[in-house]
């Protein structure tokens, strides 16, 4: 009985200490933010307009393909990644998958005014302008047509890696996705060279290999959806990923950054099961030996 009392005291104080330095301390250090919002109701989007993909195709070939490649539609990128980065500051994305990855309202808002929609207007000062011009001179219907076209050519499904490559890899590397011990260039290096991106962003965007361990899925979900919520004044734009696409990006980060998660989950119960058996036998043995003593 006394031993149980001592154990209860130990558990109590250890528990209070744990609560104080972990959940409580972290709740004080990290501000609580609203959960991710995938409705994008706040953007100046389509306002319910239905687009016509055929008109959209025409508009896209006239307005977009001078800078952007659209591989699925036969438009190759006008420049290679490095030259495009040197010309614009950052490598422009191929638009083949935009209709699948991004929320339609967000896409519309972005085409109208990229800096405003992606929440980087605060960076566009001292003569700096967003590399993509605003198309707010177009009719709302024309914007809707462009979005409809991008959706019509987009794949219906993508792998986690494809989602990451298209949504993130222009700026971020993820070297654990293709780790090179010999120092050769990883296929998961950022598409925009470091020198250009640091000029464009003011810093080299971090490699994302360990973000799943350093930030965790919950933070990533809130952060990718709206970076400024957690990091005020950040250079990272809001990218407007749909919920499913963002889940795929986070899943990819877990594949490359915490690949032993499944092994952990399956080995854990086995270890604990073995130890329960060990503890049981140890107690029985102890009881047998101590029976003669009292």
- Rule CB under 8 A: say whether 184 interacts with other proteins: no
The single residue among 32, 47, 156, 263 that binds other proteins, judged by CB under 8 A, is 263
Q: Which is nearer to other proteins, 39 or 260 (CB)?
A: 260
- Rule CB under 8 A: say whether 292 interacts with other proteins: yes
Find tokens 């749909």 and name the residue: 242
- Rule CB under 8 A: say whether 260 interacts with other proteins: yes
- Rule CB under 8 A: say whether 8 interacts with other proteins: no
Residue 213 in 3-state DSSP?
helix
**Among candidates 108, 90, 88, 87, which has minimal Cα distance to 99?**
108
Choose one: 6-14, 85-93, 104-112, 124-132; the region binding other proteins (CB under 8 A): 6-14
The single residue among 53, 140, 210, 243 that binds other proteins, judged by CB under 8 A, is 210
Q: How many CA atoms lie within 13 A of 272 on its CB side?
A: 6
The single residue among 13, 33, 83, 129 that binds other proteins, judged by CB under 8 A, is 13
Q: Which is nearer to other proteins, 153 or 201 (CB)?
A: 201
- Rule CB under 8 A: say whether 33 interacts with other proteins: no
What is the Cα–Cα distance from 106 to 111, expressed in whole angstroms? 9
Q: Classify burial at 227, counting beta carbons within 10 Å of its beta carbon; exposed 0-12, middle 13-18, buried 19 or more.
A: buried
Per-residue DSSP letter, 121: G
Can you read off the two tokens belonging to residue 71? 């591989």
Q: Which residues pair with 241 in a beta bridge?
A: 102
Query: CA angle 107-46-137, nearest 5°?
Result: 80
The length of the chain in residues reads 294
What is the Cα–Cα distance from 186 to 174, expressed in whole angstroms? 9
- Per-residue binding string, other proteins, 215-254, x by CB under 8 A, is xx--------------------------------------
Residues that bind other proteins (CB under 8 A): 2-3, 6-7, 10, 13-14, 16-18, 20-22, 24-25, 28-29, 176, 179, 206-207, 209-210, 213-216, 259-260, 263-265, 267-268, 271-272, 275-276, 278-280, 282-283, 285-286, 289-290, 292-294
């Amino acid at each position: 009985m006394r031993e149980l009392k001592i154990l209860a005291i130990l558990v109590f104080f250890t528990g209070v200490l744990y609560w104080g330095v972990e959940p409580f301390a972290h709740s004080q250090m990290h501000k609580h933010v609203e959960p991710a919002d995938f409705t994008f109701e706040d953007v100046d989007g389509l306002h319910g307009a239905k687009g016509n993909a055929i008109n959209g195709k025409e508009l896209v070939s006239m307005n977009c393909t001078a800078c952007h490649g659209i591989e699925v539609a036969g438009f190759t990128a006008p420049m290679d990644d490095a030259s495009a980065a040197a010309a614009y500051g950052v490598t422009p994305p191929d638009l083949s998958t935009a209709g699948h990855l991004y929320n339609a309202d967000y896409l519309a808002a972005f085409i109208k005014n990229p800096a405003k929609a992606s929440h980087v207007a605060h960076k566009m000062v001292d003569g700096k302008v967003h590399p993509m011009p605003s198309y707010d001179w177009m009719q709302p219907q024309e914007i809707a047509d462009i979005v409809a076209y991008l959706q019509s050519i987009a794949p219906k499904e993508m792998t986690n890696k494809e989602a990451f490559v298209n949504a993130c890899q222009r700026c971020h590397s993820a070297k654990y996705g293709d780790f090179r011990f010999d120092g050769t260039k990883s296929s998961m290096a950022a598409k925009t060279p470091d020198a250009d991106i640091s000029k464009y962003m003011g810093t080299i965007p971090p490699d994302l290999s360990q973000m799943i361990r350093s930030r965790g899925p919950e933070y990533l979900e809130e952060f990718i959806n709206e970076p400024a919520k957690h990091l005020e004044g950040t250079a990272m734009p809001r990218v407007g990923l749909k919920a499913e696409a963002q889940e795929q990006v986070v899943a990819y980060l877990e594949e490359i950054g915490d690949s032993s998660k499944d092994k952990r989950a399956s080995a854990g119960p086995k270890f604990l099961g073995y130890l329960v058996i060990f503890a049981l036998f140890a107690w029985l043995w102890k009881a047998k030996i101590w029976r003669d003593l009292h």
